[in-house]
Structure 1
Amino acid sequence: MTDAARTLLINPTITSRRSARFPLSLLHLAAALERSGNDSRIIDGNVDRDFVNDALRALEEGAFDAVGVSVMGGPQLAPAIAVSSVIRARFPAVPIVWGGYFPTLNPDAALAAPYVDYAVRGQAGETLPELIAALGGRAEAKLAAIGGLSWKQGGAVVHNPNRRFTLADHGRVLPYDKLGDPRRYLARTYLGRRTVAHQASVGCRFRCTFCGVAAMFGGTTVLPAAQQLERDLGYLKHTLGADSVQYFDNNFFDRERDMLPLLEVMARFEMPWWCFARADALLNLSEQAWKLVRKSRLRMAYIGAESPNGQMLKEIRKGTRPDQTMAVVELCRRHGVIPELSFMVAPPENTAEETEHTFEFIRALKRVNPQSEVVIYVYTPLPENSRHEQDRARRPAKPLFGLDGEPVAFPTTPEEWAQPRWVDYTCHADAPWLDDRLRRRIRDFVTVLRCRFPTVQDLRSPPWAKRSLSAMALWRYRYGRYDRPWELELANRLVRLRMPQVSGL
């Protein structure tokens, strides 16, 4: 191993080229490796559709000490398996490291694969450079000292202790040049002609039991210094030419006293923006904060409403109430912000009743603020072993049962998790306790709702087509006649309305 180790960082395909955004996790890893004196190369499968062969060519053309693969669950698993398998077959001596949400939530399943040597749980900015440094002699004593690492030892899987999350300011912007021309990641969206993806803070301090973010970060959140955000936005706006920002922060509005310096920076740039937020956080903002929010040009906030059932919100530790959801849509209307509300239907208990209750609550929200956007998912709780260890100890999950009355058996390998039924589970699109009738009921309601209220995020569908679909869906929505909306499904084949739960901005 040379003094300057080289790591090939791969982002397997998960979306279309049109929807590709900066692979921020790999950019942060490249910066961390650079700070440790090592080099890296990034291959992004979202813009490079031949990324598997390009990864092989990169390994043939130059020596790499390790391959790091960023892996989300769901549709990214299959391409992650594909690229890891061919690299293992062609270059069996090159260590393969998986990081990201999937190995964090399912480290045993990840390491059950013969093509995965190491799994990084949680933040990898310190773990990966330490692992690369230890790979020279594969000294097990060194491996055992690396926080956040899971690895194989004598046929058994070893899970090292977790590592604390950090957000250090190292005085420079991310190495966007490693992506070739970073401007190709700027997209025309509802926010602007050149929208850029950015993540300012890390983590979320809340512990919702269904949430992969909570399982990954364990109630930790770290905000950037104001000067760091100012430097980053300055580069994105003045060097790359971005005119709007989609913030990927898991929970943008945290405590107001910490957010005010960041909002002041954003107010100076006046770049329209979108973010994740909580109803209670927005309701608690002072008028001073709202003045900065308006000046900074917040256009849309994605708010996890989840359920109109207050008891269910308590059980999943959401920390908000249905009345706060109702209040925040009115508050957003007054301040010119569109609330994009996500709901989880079809919970394992009282499945049909809770689903219908949610439909009625959505209609009530629409009466308060017709501009409210609604995203509907199926409630798919995390497997017990995927939840954060502190939450498992404090609040064991209820057992889950399928339609046959048997306990749900979750996958134990990447290949099993990549099966369509489990991809749907991961993407909150289906669950083992749903029957065909309720599955159809949910699909029909979503069809009527999105035709009646086409999303403002849809820039591709002609305005006349959206108006026509809205008029066609009017009588069904008004009278609650959702069953088998064949005419809307037929029209959708021609118009193909954008679905935020699939493509987002």
Structure 2
Amino acid sequence: MGGSPRTLLINPTITSRSSARFPLALLNLAAALDRNGHSQIIDGNVDRDLIGATLAAIESDRFDAIGVSVMGGPQIAPSIEVSRVIRERYPQLPIIWGGYFPTLYTDTALSAPYVDYAIRGQAEESLPELVAALARPGAPAIANIGSLSWKHDGSVVHNPNRRFSLGDSGIVLPYEKLGDPRRYLARTFLGERTAAHQAAIGCRFRCTFCGVNAMFGGMTALPTAKRLERDLSYLKYELGADSIQFFDHNFFDREVDMIPLLEVMAKLEMPWWCYARSDALLNLSESTWELVRKSRLRMAYVGAESPSGAMLKEIRKGTRPDQTLQVAELCRKNGVIPELSFMVAPPQNTLEETEHTFEFIRELKRINPASEIIVYIYTPLPESSKHEKDRGKHASMPLLDLHGEPVVFPSSPEEWTERRWVDYACHADAPWLTDELRRHIQDFVTVLRCRFPTVQDLRSPSWAKRGLSAMASWRYRRRQYDRPWELNLANRLVRLRMPQVSGL
């Protein structure tokens, strides 16, 4: 084809324009691709006519390949749609899927006629190598590209995984590829212009249910303090960001490694939100907590998962229920809001575990009323989606539906667009839930979020939130969760924010 390799990167629509955040994965890929080529980004969260924008880009430029970033859940349908249109209009143009979905469900992704290649896990090294191989004769053979899966003679070939790394090009991400990057700064409870950023990637813990472990295999990499300060200073002084939402898979790691990063945060003093673990926070010394306070950490999202020690051990969480209670108190003393997530309705002891979790949540609210609670349905990954290091090593009970039949996961991207599987991917429903338990969980969540409206809700007026809280107080106090018709009616008018759906 001649010339340097050219790649069109697509982030299919997954959220509203007002909730759009920097497409950080594509920005990192663009930085890698641009070292020896050229890239362009289309973000469907901002460019609402995703198909039109994609076709216009292809018609006005030359591309050697199309890279599509694909999450599970609601992003599958637009990913299929844009890939199909490209295949119909430009059948010779290679289409590459990357991200969580093709990493977890590689064979499923490649079963589609509109997907030619899938990159598992990190793509900053694999994608440039693949595009170069497609663009230039004599480039390294496709069979030698790590973490690549591809079609050959009617079958799927999985190249070996490549090493985990956190490369640093030495430059700030190419935000200018997004047009005006300031339109991605959002008003949140953290500030008027909150920017999304990812410093560390991966997580060294091996939770069996977690897509991060399946993608990175228990590996993690933290940035240098120099890099973090460079990146955040650009966001603050060049773009005008006044707060940060970290998309790190697990921001807090070992204390000795965190101190230089917290010193940077304390220097910049930008209110921030991040993911954390209860054990990591509990292990911080008082001097480090002083840095945390100075850095203005506002909220930490902690995966509490379950009040059952046995279940935490089974899913290899590595934490204990008592640590969840302790971290709620610790955060209260240090002015940090703990946002604690729980997984209810596991396949075994479904009702008992769910009721136990409800009571545990009440205890947390007693210890720290400011604690924010997120309730998900426990929807574990199929064995085939786990990281290769973990497959077959930790035998678990087979997943059965309400009729006692084995749960059969979709074998095509189209099947994953069915409502029941979108809900499964979003931890909103599971095949083993009865209608009664499903409604009971929804009712508990309704009473809980009305009784304790989230501080992240800037849209609902204060008087409305106070009114809903008062209406829900008797139900919460007496544990009368079922059929809260009056709260459902009132919430149609107030429309409280749901962090598990909309995030910040």
- Shorter-chain TM-score bucket reads over 0.9
CA distance in 2, matches of 1:2, 1:369: 63
Number of the residue aligned with 2:16: 16
Match of 2:361 in 1: 362
Query: Match for residue 136 of structure 1?
Result: 135
The DSSP-based 3-state class of the residue aligned with 1:93 is coil
Q: How is 1:300-379 mapped onto 2 (pairs within 5 angstroms)?
A: 300-379=299-378
In the TM superposition, residue 134 of structure 1 has moved relative to its aligned partner by 0.8
Distance 2:206 2:395 in 1: 13
1:176 and 1:149 mapped to 2: Cα distance?
27
CA contact (8 A) 2:110 2:156 kept: yes
Distance in 2 between residues matched to 1:105 and 1:397, nearest whole Å: 18
Distance 1:218 1:470 in 2: 43
**CA–CA distance in 2 between the matches of 1:140 and 1:307?**
50
Distance 1:137 1:203 in 2: 33
Give 1:170 shift: 1.8
Deviation at 1:136, TM superposition (A): 3.3
List gaps (5 residues or longer) in structure 1: none
Give, as a single letter, the amino acid of the residue that structure 2 aligns with 1:230. E
Asked if the contact 1:21/1:186 (under 8 Å) is kept, the reply is yes
Report the secondary structure of 2:390's partner residue: helix
1:401-412 to 2 correspondences below 5 Å? 401-412=400-411
Shift of residue 139, structure 1, vs aligned partner: 7.7
Shift of 1:25: 0.2
The match for 1:2 is: 2
CA distance in 2, matches of 1:95, 1:138: 15
**2:189 partner letter:** Y
TM-score normalised to structure 1 length = 0.99
What's the CA shift for 1:397? 3.7
Tell me, what secondary structure is at the counterpart of 2:183?
helix
Counterpart Cα distance in 2 of 1:255 and 1:141: 39
Tell me how far 1:55 sits from its aligned partner. Answer: 0.2
- Equivalent position of 2:81 in the other structure: 82
The AA in structure 2 aligned to 1:16 is S
Partner of 2:85: helix, strand, or coil? Answer: helix
Shift of 1:140: 11
1:351-377 CA deviation, whole Å, 9 max, x = no partner? 011000000000011000000000000
Decide whether the 8 Å contact of 1:384 with 1:397 is kept in 2: no
* Cα distance in 1, alignment partners of residues 235 and 140 from structure 2: 42
Distance 1:73 1:138, change over 3 A: farther
CA shift at 1:398, angstroms?
2.8
Structure 1 equivalent of residue 33 of structure 2: 33
The residue number in structure 2 matching 1:235 is: 234
| Residues 383-430 of structure 1 deviation map (CA, whole Å, 9 limit, x = unaligned) | 111111111142234310000111000001100111110000000000
Quick one: which amino acid aligns to residue 365 of structure 1? L
Contact kept? 2:129, 2:140, Cα under 8 Å: no
Matched position secondary structure for 1:414: coil
Check if 1:384 corresponds to 2:375: no
Aligned residues: 504
Q: Which amino acid in structure 2 is aligned with residue 405 of structure 1? A: G
What corresponds to 1:220 in structure 2?
A: 219
SS of residue in 2 equivalent to 1:319: coil
SS in 1 for 2:71: coil
Aligned counterpart, 2:64: 65
SS in 2 for 1:411: coil
* Residue aligned with 1:389, SS: coil
Asked if 2 retains the 8 angstrom alpha-carbon contact of 1:32 and 1:126, the reply is yes
Aligned partner of residue 173 in structure 1, secondary structure: coil
The answer as to whether partners of 2:276 and 2:300 remain within 8 angstroms in 1 is: yes
Q: Which stretch has the larger CA shift, 164-173 or 67-76?
A: 164-173
Aligned-pair CA distance for 1:166: 1.0
Give distance in 2, aligned partners of 1:430 and 1:171. Answer: 43
Aligned Cα RMSD in Å?
Answer: 1.0
Structure 2 CA distance for aligned equivalents of residues 158 and 246 of structure 1: 38
| Mapped partners of 2:237, 2:296: distance in 1 | 18
Structure 1 counterpart SS, 2:391? helix
Which runs of structure 2 are paired with 1:435-454 in the superposition (5 Å)?
Answer: 435-454=434-453
The amino acid of 1:144's aligned partner reads A
Structure-2 change in CA distance of 1:175 and 1:149 (3 Å): same
Q: Determine the C-alpha separation between the residues in 1 that align with 2:139 and 2:88.
A: 25
Aligned to 2:271: 272
Q: Is the 8 A contact 1:189 1:195 kept in 2?
A: yes
Give deviations 1:83-121, integer Å, cap 9, x for gaps.
000000000000000000000000000000000000000
Q: Partners in 2 of 1:415 and 1:307 — Cα distance? A: 32
What per-residue deviation string (whole Å, max 9, x for no partner) do you get for residues 114-157 of structure 1? 00000000000000000011113688971110001000000000
Q: Retained in 2: the 8 A contact 1:384–1:396?
A: no
- Whether contact under 8 Å (2:202, 2:220) holds in the other structure is yes
Deviation of residue 471 (structure 1)?
0.2
CA distance in structure 2 between the partners assigned to 1:385 and 1:257 by the alignment: 36
Match for 2:353: what amino acid?
A: E
- Residues 1:110 and 2:109 are matched in the alignment: yes
Structure 1 position 61, deviation (Å): 1.3
Shift of 1:17: 0.7
The one-character-per-residue Cα deviations of 1:271-300 (angstroms, maximum 9, x if unpaired) are 000000000000000111101100000000
- Equivalent runs, 1:118-129 vs 2, <5 Å: 118-129=117-128
Unaligned runs of at least 5 residues, structure 2: none
CA-to-aligned-CA distance 1:144-179 (integer Å, 9 cap, x gap): 100010000000000001111211222110000000
Please give the secondary structure, in 2, of the residue aligned with 1:58.
helix
**1:208-237 superposed Cα distances (whole Å, 9 cap, x missing partner):** 000001100100000001100010011000
Native 8 Å contact 2:132 2:139 kept in 1: no
SS in 2 for 1:87: helix
SS in structure 2 of the partner of residue 392 of structure 1: coil
1: CA distance between counterparts of 2:101 and 2:182? 29
Amino acid at match of 1:314: K
Paired residue for 1:96?
A: 95
Are the counterparts in 1 of residues 2 and 136 from structure 2 also a CA contact under 8 Å?
Answer: no
Given that 1:469 and 1:491 are in contact with CA atoms closer than 8 Å, whether structure 2 keeps it comes out as: yes
Per-residue deviation at 1:12? 0.2
Comparing 173-182 and 161-170, the one that deviates more: 161-170
- Partner Cα separation in structure 1 for residue 433 and residue 279 of structure 2: 31
Q: Secondary structure at the match of 2:97?
A: strand
CA contact (8 A) 1:192 1:272 kept: yes
Distance 1:334 1:314, change over 3 A: same
